[in-house]
Each structure stands twice: as C-alpha cells, then as structure tokens.
Structure 1
Amino acid sequence: MINESGLYIVVLLYLKLFSMFLQLFAYDTVNKNLSAKPGEQSKLPVPASLIAGACAGVSSTICTYPLELLKTRLTIQRGVYNGLLDAFVKIIKEEGPAELYRGLTPSLIGVIPYSATNYFAYDTLRKAYQKIFKQEKIGNIETLLIGSAAGAISSTATFPLEVARKQMQVGALSGRQVYRDVLHALVSILEKEGIQGLYRGLGPSCMKLVPAAGISFMCYEACKKILIDNDEKE
C-alpha cells in the first residue's frame, strides 16, 4: 500500500511528465498544421513555431492547473487538509469547482511568452543546425544541447516578466499595491535597480530550466523516432 506522502510524490511526478508530453504533443500538432508546405510561402505574420509554442504552454497549464493549485494549498495551508484527495474534495464541496482554476489568468500570462520563445528558439536552432551541418537527422546529444540552448534563450528573454510578476505577488501578500501592472513594475524596477534588477536570480532559474528544456526535447525526439520507426516497420 502506498501512503499519502508516497501518493503525493507520485502525483507530482505524473504532473511533470504529463505536462511535458502534453506540451510537446500540442506543439507538434499545431506546428504541423500551421507550417507552410515545402515550396509554399507562409501566410502567417509570425513563425508557426511561435504560435505553436504559445498553444503548447496554454494547453499544458489549463490541464494541469488544478493539480498545481492542490500542491500549493498543501504546501501553504499545512494542517488544513489530510492529503491530496482530501484537499480536492474539500475545495470542490466548500468553494466550488471554479476554485480549482483561481489564479489561472496570471499563470497563463506568465507561461505564454516563455513557452512561445522556448519552442521558437528550439525550432530555429534545430533548423540552423540541419542547414549548417547538412544533416536531416539529429542525434540525442545534439538535441539535448539544442534544447538546453533554447531553454537558456527563452529563460533570459522572459526573465524580466518573471521578476515583475514575483514583485507584484510580494506586494499583494503584504497588503500593499506596489505596482499597477506588469509594465509599471518593469519600468519601476529598471529605474530603481537598473538592468541588473530585471535579471536578479537569473542564474539559479537557468540552472533549473535549461537542463529541463534539453531533457524534454531529447526525450520527445527519441520517442518520436521510435514511433516513426515502428509505423514504418508495420
């Protein structure tokens, strides 16, 4: 029998894996449908991978948000709930199903630019590698490095938004409105602390996100190769 703490760990692992594969599936599906066919010119004003990346982040966040909320409640409100299932039942009964999606909009605002930039950077770097080295197929190690580079680019490009969001959250928790909106937060931080203020904490963030991005893309490409090979054999 698995205890409550063991169940909690299993749910967290499931959440991470499900989120990763859902993102990659959504990205691949949308990107294929929006990308122009060989010899045709794209009718989209922006690259297809940028839109597909944003869709991937949105679909993953919407599907996994209730579990993220339960995880947050269990972490912050210790002693209120007896476990994951108890938290889920109590929230549904006492606060209604809509409570499972409280705070979804700010999360979407945060994930869309990162996810869009991440997948766009990966697609661009992958195509550049194929063009430079004239290789259609890319190995696992190369995919890991390309994915990690894409993670570094997207983390760096969108980190100021993350800093602004956290600063706004801190102000809300302390009961005072420090910033009116994200733009006001960005301008204020820039005026007070300079450009370095917008990138404070970037290093630790990259240490977590960069390897995760590389591993995610490597696993995805490896699984896709296996499925394609199986289809061809059949």
Structure 2
Amino acid sequence: MPKKTIEEWTEDAIESTPYLASDEKGGAYRESTQLNQMDDNTKVETHPSVKPWVHFVAGGVGGMAGAIVTCPFDLVKTRLQSDVYKNVYKSNAAKQTAASNLKIFHVFNQAGIHFKETCGIIGNVYKQEGFRSLFKGLGPNLVGVIPARSINFFTYGTTKEIYSKAFNNGQESPLIHLMAAASAGWATSTATNPIWMIKTRVQLDKAGTTRQYKNAWDCMKSIVRNEGVRGLYKGLSASYLGSVEGILQWLLYEQMKAVIKKRSIEKFGHNNEGQKSTGDRIKEWCQRSGSAGMAKFIASIVTYPHEVVRTRLRQNPVENGKVKYTGLFQSFKVIIKEEGFLSMYSGLTPHLMRTVPNSIIMFGTWELVIRLLSQA
C-alpha cells in the first residue's frame, strides 16, 4: 500500500469528520451539510420534531397567560356584541364623524372615539360593579381557554406533521398549513363550545338584584334544566364559521414566520443558532410574536361578524314569546335588517384591543415553553 502524503491524510481526516460522532449527530451534520450545498431555489428546511404533549402543555400555558391579561377587554367586547347592552353603551362615534367628508379621517376618528369609549366602559364597570366585575367570566374563560389552546396547538402541530408526511414528502406548504389549521379549528370548537356558552351567559348577567346566575356552575345547571343539553351547543354553527379566523391566522402567521426565517438564513446560514447573539434571538422572538398579533388583526377584521352572531345565539333573547335568533343565517338577516350592517362590527375595537395583544402573549409564551420543555 503506497504511503500517503501529509496533505492526503489531512483531506481524509476532513472528509471523515461527520462520521466520527454518534450516528444521530453525524446524520444531522451530514444533512445540514447537504442542505448548504444545495441550490438556493431547492433548499429544504427540516424542522426539529416536537413531541405532541409539548404542544399541548405550551398551548395551554400560552392561552392562560393571554386570557388573564386581556380579560377586561373580553368583558367589554361581549357586552357590546349583545343587544341587551347596546343602548347602555351606545357609541357617539357616528354622530361626531357624520359631518366629515374625508373617509380616511372618518375611519381614524371613529377608531379613536371607540378606543376612548372602550376605556370609559372599563372605568364605568369598575366604578359601578367593582374591580372583580372586570374579570367576570374569567373562571369559565380559563376553563375554556386552557383546553381550547391546548387542543388547538396540539391538533395543529400533530396534524401538520401527519399531513406533511402523508401528502407532501414530509415538507410543509401553505396547503398543509390550511389542512392542519382547519382540523385544529373544528376540533377546538366542538370540544369547548359548552364552556364558551357558559362564559357568555355569565358575562351578560347583570350585577345586583337582577342577577340570574350565582356562578358558572349554576349557569350550566340552569341551561341544561331549561334548554336541555343541546342548549350548551348554541352558537356552534357560528363557531365553525369562526374557525375560518383561526385558519386565516395560522396561514398568515406561518407565512410571516417563513419570511423571518428566510432573513435569518440569509444572514447567518442554515446552522445559525450558534452564531446568534442573545439580542438576535430576542429580536427574532419579538418578530415572530408580533407576526402572530398582525395575523390575528387581519383575520379578526375579515371574519368578525360571526362573533356578533355567535354571541346573540348564546344570549338566547325571547321576543313575543319566541326565541329571536334561531340559526346562523337567520341571525345574520335579523341583525342586519333591524340594526344595519355596521352592527355586525359591534365591539370590534375592544375585540382587537384584546385579541391582538392576546395573540402576541399567547404565541410568544407558547414558543418559550416549547423551547424550555424540548431542552428538558
């Protein structure tokens, strides 16, 4: 066997480096090396597999954090959606901007007035009903949010992996995100509708001598006794329609996150975690969390009318001895006919003031918990 020169030994050592580690580490090294050698147009990013229970726990923790912080806005939103409180909290935005011919000024002026009125409603609830009233429905809200977010993130993460392996050779795509988001939305709506039904009734319950329900448990017993078990599923059709909001949010979030990831790869390369400073990691985390808020903002504006219809169906008002709202499309027709199309956006300002920061907190917390549990 001919002797090798120093240069030849050096070349052999460099080529064999990936195989000197364990099989798992060596395989990961070889995979990332191959990715770096591929053409920019054909790069395929591989994502580390996250255990399903991690998605479940992280989603619940994220949902809980967001719900607690933004509960007062949820209370205002629910009351503004209800026809019981529409005269009590009647907005002056239309009156003060009717004389304006500038549409852009009109929109921004209305938004400012709604923001001011929302804060005013929170202040009035605090003065008239006490601090605890700002967190009415928080109990059933948390009971609903924790499993709802756990189910949503668990179903989305799990089905995304299943669908990508079954239909797209293990790779993600907008269609895979759409299918996973739809599965997550429908599963979450079906499982948690009774909880949201109780939360809505409790939040619409007036304080003082006219109070109907002692607590959430009393509310549930009253619904089952007077309306049957099916009464707990009122508004489910609107919830299914509302799953479109979740689907749209997931799609937008994934696309924004992909843009952030692409910029990170362009700056640091595929094996980028070790090259990032703490500031870089925090900056990207803030960008991803902000993307969740922006995605929620867009999705909420597009799909908000279903929220009003769902609240009316759960509210279950009686008119002339008959239930006023009997179904999804019938409710749309009645509300628009009696109150106008703009009433379909009643409570939008507090809704956005709640859901946008809620999404930022929830998705940010979800990602942090995933990182912590995955490293454990």
Provide the TM-score with structure 1 as the length reference: 0.70
Provide the TM-score with structure 2 as the length reference: 0.46
Match among 203, 218, 223 for residue 86 of structure 1: 218
Does the CA-based 8 Å contact 1:114-1:155 persist in structure 2?
Answer: no
How many residues get paired?
214
Judge which range, 82-91 or 147-156, deviates more: 147-156
Cα separation, 2, equivalents of 1:93 and 1:201: 31
Over aligned residue pairs, what C-alpha RMSD do you find? 4.1
Larger relative contact order (CA 8 Å, sep ≥ 6):
2
User: In the TM superposition, what is the alpha-carbon distance from 1:68 to its structure 2 partner?
Assistant: 1.2
Q: Does 1:40 align with 2:169?
A: yes
Q: Does 1:207 align with 2:353?
A: yes
Does the CA-based 8 Å contact 1:91-1:99 persist in structure 2?
Answer: yes
User: In the TM superposition, what is the alpha-carbon distance from 1:7 to its structure 2 partner?
Assistant: 10
Change in 2 beyond 3 A, CA 1:219/1:178: closer
Structure 2 match to 1:30: 159
Cα separation, 1, equivalents of 2:344 and 2:219: 36
Does the CA-based 8 Å contact 2:238-2:310 persist in structure 1?
Answer: no
Cα separation, 2, equivalents of 1:10 and 1:29: 28
Does the CA-based 8 Å contact 1:151-1:213 persist in structure 2?
Answer: yes
Structure 2 match to 1:161: 303
Change in 2 beyond 3 A, CA 1:124/1:116: same
Cα separation, 2, equivalents of 1:75 and 1:40: 47
Judge which range, 139-148 or 216-225, deviates more: 139-148
Match among 132, 135, 140 for residue 263 of structure 2: 132
Change in 2 beyond 3 A, CA 1:217/1:80: same
User: In the TM superposition, what is the alpha-carbon distance from 1:100 to its structure 2 partner?
Assistant: 0.6
Give the aligned residue type for 1:115.
G
Change in 2 beyond 3 A, CA 1:140/1:99: farther
Q: Does 1:116 align with 2:258?
A: no
CA radius of gyration, larger in: 2
Q: Cα deviations across residues 175-206 of structure 1 (Å, max 9, x unaligned)?
A: 69795499x99xx95xxx8xxx9989765543
Cα separation, 1, equivalents of 2:233 and 2:310: 20
Does the CA-based 8 Å contact 2:156-2:184 persist in structure 1?
Answer: yes
Change in 2 beyond 3 A, CA 1:140/1:61: farther
Structure 2 match to 1:152: 294
Change in 2 beyond 3 A, CA 1:157/1:181: farther
Give the aligned residue type for 2:290.
S
Give the aligned residue type for 1:108.
Y
Does the CA-based 8 Å contact 2:304-2:348 persist in structure 1?
Answer: no
Question: Structure 1: where are the runs of 5+ without partners?
Answer: none
Give the aligned residue type for 1:57.
G
Does the CA-based 8 Å contact 2:245-2:303 persist in structure 1?
Answer: no
User: In the TM superposition, what is the alpha-carbon distance from 1:145 to its structure 2 partner?
Assistant: 2.8
Structure 1 match to 2:46: none
State, as a whole percentage, how many aligned pairs show the same letter: 21
Change in 2 beyond 3 A, CA 1:100/1:163: closer
Q: Does 1:143 align with 2:321?
A: no
Cα separation, 1, equivalents of 2:353 and 2:200: 22
Does the CA-based 8 Å contact 1:152-1:206 persist in structure 2?
Answer: no
Structure 1 match to 2:228: 96
Q: Cα deviations across residues 21-60 of structure 1 (Å, max 9, x unaligned)?
A: 32211111111111258x938798x521122122222222
Match among 124, 146, 167 for residue 17 of structure 1: 146
Change in 2 beyond 3 A, CA 1:143/1:26: farther
Does the CA-based 8 Å contact 2:308-2:345 persist in structure 1?
Answer: no
